[in-house]
Amino acid sequence: MSTHAHSERTYRLTYGALSGLSGLALGVLIAAGYSLAGVAGFVVFFGAAAYLQASYSGTLFDERDRQIHERASGWTLSLFGWASAVFFPTMTVLVALDYTTWPTWLVPIAFTVPLVYGVYGILLFVARRKQ
């Protein structure tokens, strides 16, 4: 394997690690009560990842990466869709029959799911218009 190939692999791995760390810093530090540190960590790690990508002389990500991301996004949307299609109607019935009550933490999620699909529907329309 050539030096270029090693370099590409190292850059890609480092980019992935920095992106992951940015998300972790944001989520974990905010959850732990250090909101400003969380945002600062996110900015630093995400900025470093963006700088790494911009400073790489070759191609760091290409059409294959885009296809992988599109596939993973599709699977994620399907997973949420099917889980919601089973879970939320079931919960609604159970709440209506007084078997349980809506947990407080579930309410924002219940509102987020239709919001996500609403945005998806709009973007689907836009994407169809472009083709």
Partner 1 sequence: MKTSLPEFRDREDLSQADLAAEVGVTRQTINSIERGRYDPSLELAFKLADRFDCHVEDLFDPETE
Binding residues for partner 1 (CB under 8 A): 1-2, 4-5, 8-9, 12, 58-65, 67
| Of 19 and 84, CB closest to partner 1 | 19
Q: How far is the CB of 46 from partner 1 (least distance, A)?
A: 21
| Of 39 and 60, CB closest to partner 1 | 60
Give the Cα separation of 121 and 123 in Å (integer).
6
Give the orientation angle of helix 63-96 with respect to helix 106-130, to 10 degrees. 140
Cα end-to-end span (Å), the chain: 40
Q: Tokens 């911009």 belong to which residue?
A: 54
| Of 11 and 42, CB closest to partner 1 | 11
